[in-house]
């Protein structure tokens, strides 16, 4: 708040008289006093910022684009100028820690505070999911959902039906409560299989004299991305299909089946059996639902933003890959990885940015590449949506054990990326009543995925970003 001095009543007339008698002298006095005050404020805030971080080498610091000694500067501007300088100097120290195969970009308040090899393409690992999420939001829309439907042949008065037909709609998050309890990163925003099974029972089905017929023709039959090493198959992701239950994990089985659709039928039979509904024969494949069958149950996923939150917080590879197939199905009429990648490339190109190399949706392939500048563009484009969809430092998902007991715990949000020799961190540091600090860090180096290698760099970055909250605050500079 601007302080306005209150003058004694008997002095107001004399001040007006002096101004009328000698206006030139008055203007000169006011100008000199104003210059002295602004000069003093400048040296005060500059001293504070210099005490917080040692002065960096000029080659590492980008010069400010605005002048502090300006009569139009406000306390808020002076505060921002000081803190921008403080963050820049701290980031110089972070840059000195980076391996040669790394890029770093930090933006705040429309200014690039640090750019180290920002235009160099590197392997981003799971940070690629940022791209998948951004394209899915634009193409499918935030409220997009996935439907799974169940049909039955005519049901007898005693609850007997010949076949049950399950039509897959590409929902990547169909899970049971028992399954999520066993996950390293428990699925969030999942679609309840328990609810779907309950709906089947409520429809009056008591016995299936034939089979559970699974229909997953929405997507192709390619179960894994060609560029993945075989050691990833069924471990890091897949087998992929339009009908997947519990990430294709079957109750009581140590190995995943080759066919996710038949696996879903097998798991559904187990779940129905737990409710006293028997199934006579093994699951079968189908291509269409017979016209004589009636829909008896269905379940709809959470909106796309919630699905993306699961993908980004927990780095869910299956979700990322099914989203790529869904993009292909919606825009190209073919639910395949190749069709979905076409949509991603076309969408990114339409943004007017350099198109990265994208060979999958999850980032599992080391053939993917992107720049820190590219990720910064995505962060800026989605700055209103992404912060609430990312893992929270020290609290959730892949950041649950990072930045614990630090100044950015419970504040910094980001997407991580990890492969052998790859570590990435892309996200935001939200600030109260101010624009978030955006950052992208990708490192490619032998051993960088070891905690002893990347954590000191991550922690230094967190400390540097947090200096955006440093003093002086605007209220400290207000008279």
Q: How far apart are CA 89 and CA 81, in angstroms?
A: 13
Q: Are residues 79 and 158 in the same domain?
A: no
Q: Which among 132, 134, 100, 131 is positioned nearest to 117, based on CA atoms? A: 100
- Answer for the pair 76, 473: CB distance below 8 angstroms, yes or no: no
Residue 258 within a domain: yes
What is the structure's pLDDT at 41? Answer: 47
Residue count of the chain, please give it: 479
Q: Which helix (H) or strand (E) holds 152?
A: strand 147-152
Strands 212-215 and 294-300: unpaired
Instruction: State which of 284, 305, 326 marks the end of a domain.
Output: 305
Residue 91 within a domain: yes
Q: Are residues 151 and 279 in the same domain?
A: yes
Q: Are residues 77 and 45 in the same domain?
A: yes
Q: Phi/psi at 369 (nearest 5 deg)?
A: -155, 150
Residue 348 within a domain: no
Q: What is the pTM of this model?
A: 0.84
Range of the domain at 188: 139-305
What is the structure's pLDDT at 457? Answer: 99
Residue 267 within a domain: yes
What is the structure's pLDDT at 75? Answer: 56
- Answer for the pair 278, 209: CB distance below 8 angstroms, yes or no: no
Query: Helix, strand or coil for residue 175?
Result: strand
At 451, list the tokens: 């905690």
Q: Are residues 82 and 144 in the same domain?
A: no
Neighbours of 478 (CB within 10 A): 14
Q: Phi/psi at 293 (nearest 5 deg)?
A: -80, 155
Q: Are residues 105 and 243 in the same domain?
A: no
Q: Are residues 241 and 150 in the same domain?
A: yes
Question: Tens-of-pLDDT digits for all 479 residues of the chain?
Answer: 333 333 333 333 333 333 334 544 443 444 445 544 444 544 444 444 444 443 333 333 343 444 444 534 565 566 677 889 999 999 999 999 999 999 999 999 999 999 999 999 999 999 999 999 999 999 999 999 999 999 999 999 999 999 999 999 999 999 999 999 999 999 999 999 999 999 999 999 999 999 999 999 999 999 999 999 999 999 999 999 999 999 999 999 999 999 999 999 999 999 999 999 999 999 999 999 999 999 999 999 999 999 999 999 999 999 999 999 999 999 999 999 999 999 999 999 999 988 999 999 999 999 999 999 999 999 999 999 999 999 999 999 999 999 999 999 999 999 999 999 999 999 999 998 789 999 999 999 999 999 999 999 999 999 999 999 876 555 555 55
Q: Are residues 395 and 474 in the same domain?
A: yes
Q: Are residues 105 and 147 in the same domain?
A: no
What is the structure's pLDDT at 143? Answer: 99
**b/e 181-218 (16+ beta carbons within 10 angstroms → b):** eeeebebbbbbebeebbeebbebebbbbeebbbbbbbb
Q: Are residues 143 and 266 in the same domain?
A: yes
Residue 336 within a domain: no
What is the structure's pLDDT at 78? Answer: 65
Give me the CATH number covering residue 255.
Answer: 3.50.80.20
Q: Are residues 82 and 204 in the same domain?
A: no
Instruction: State which of 277, 305, 333 marks the end of a domain.
Output: 305
Residue 1 within a domain: no
Q: Are residues 208 and 299 in the same domain?
A: yes
Neighbours of 153 (CB within 10 A): 19
User: Could you give the number of structural domains in the chain?
Assistant: 2
What is the structure's pLDDT at 220? Answer: 98
Residue 283 within a domain: yes
Contacts of 223 (CB under 8 A, 6+ apart): 233, 238, 239, 240, 241, 258, 260
Query: Helix, strand or coil for residue 120?
Result: coil
Residue 343 within a domain: no
Query: Helix, strand or coil for residue 262?
Result: helix
The partner residues of 285 in beta bridges, in order of sequence, read: 214
Query: Helix, strand or coil for residue 47?
Result: helix
Q: Are residues 73 and 152 in the same domain?
A: no
Instruction: State which of 305, 327, 355 marks the end of a domain.
Output: 305
Q: Alpha carbon 203 to chain centroid distance?
A: 39
Using alpha carbons only, give the angle 98, 385, 116 rounded to the nearest 5 degrees.
20
Contacts of 336 (CB under 8 A, 6+ apart): 219, 220, 222, 325, 328
- Answer for the pair 375, 259: CB distance below 8 angstroms, yes or no: no
Neighbours of 157 (CB within 10 A): 6
Give me the CATH number covering residue 69.
Answer: 3.40.710
Q: Which helix (H) or strand (E) holds 132?
A: helix 129-140
């Amino acid at each position: 708040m601007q302080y306005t001095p209150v003058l004694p009543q008997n002095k107001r007339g004399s001040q007006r008289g002096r101004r009328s008698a000698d206006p030139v002298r008055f203007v000169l006095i006011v100008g000199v006093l104003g210059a002295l005050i602004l000069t003093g404020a400048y040296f005060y805030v500059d001293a504070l910022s210099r005490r917080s971080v040692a002065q960096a080498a000029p080659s590492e610091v980008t010069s400010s684009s605005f002048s502090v000694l300006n009569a139009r500067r406000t306390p808020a501007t002076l505060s921002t100028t000081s803190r921008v300088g403080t963050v820049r100097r701290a980031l110089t120290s972070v840059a000195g820690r980076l391996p040669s195969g790394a890029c770093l970009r930090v933006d705040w308040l429309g200014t690039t505070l640090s750019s180290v090899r920002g235009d160099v393409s590197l392997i981003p690992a799971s940070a690629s999911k940022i791209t998948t999420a951004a394209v899915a939001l634009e193409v499918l829309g935030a409220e997009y959902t996935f439907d799974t439907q169940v049909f039955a042949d005519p049901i007898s008065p005693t609850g007997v039906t010949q076949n049950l037909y399950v039509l897959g709609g590409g929902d990547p998050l169909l899970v049971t409560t028992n399954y999520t309890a066993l996950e390293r990163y428990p699925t969030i925003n999942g679609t309840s299989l328990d609810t779907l099974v309950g709906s089947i029972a409520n429809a009056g089905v008591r016995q299936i004299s034939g089979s559970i017929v699974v229909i997953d023709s929405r997507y192709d039959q390619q179960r894994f991305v060609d560029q993945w090493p075989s050691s990833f198959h069924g471990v890091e992701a897949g087998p992929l299909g339009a009908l997947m239950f519990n990430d294709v994990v079957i109750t009581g089985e140590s190995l995943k089946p080759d066919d996710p659709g038949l696996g879903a039928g097998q798991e559904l039979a187990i779940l129905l059996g737990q409710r006293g509904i028997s199934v006579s024969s093994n699951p079968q494949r189908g291509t269409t639902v017979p016209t004589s069958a009636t829909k008896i149950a269905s379940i709809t996923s959470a909106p796309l933003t919630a699905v993306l939150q699961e993908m980004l917080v927990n780095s869910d590879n299956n979700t990322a890959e099914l989203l790529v197939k869904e993009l292909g199905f919606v825009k190209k009429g073919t639910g395949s990885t190749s069709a979905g990648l076409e949509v991603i490339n076309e969408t990114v190109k339409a943004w007017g940015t350099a198109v990265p190399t994208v060979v999958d949706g999850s980032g599992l392939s080391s053939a993917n590449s992107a720049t820190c500048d590219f990720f910064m563009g995505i962060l800026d484009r989605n700055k209103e949506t992404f912060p609430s969809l990312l893992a929270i430092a020290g609290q959730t998902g892949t950041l649950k054990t990072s930045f614990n007991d630090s100044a950015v715990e419970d504040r910094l949000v980001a997407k991580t990326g990890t492969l052998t020799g790859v570590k990435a961190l892309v996200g935001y540091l939200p600030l109260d009543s101010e624009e978030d600090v955006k950052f992208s860090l990708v490192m490619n180096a032998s051993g960088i995925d070891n905690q002893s290698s990347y954590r000191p760099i991550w922690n230094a970055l967190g400390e540097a970003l947090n200096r955006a909250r440093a003093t002086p605050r605007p209220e400290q500079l207000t008279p």
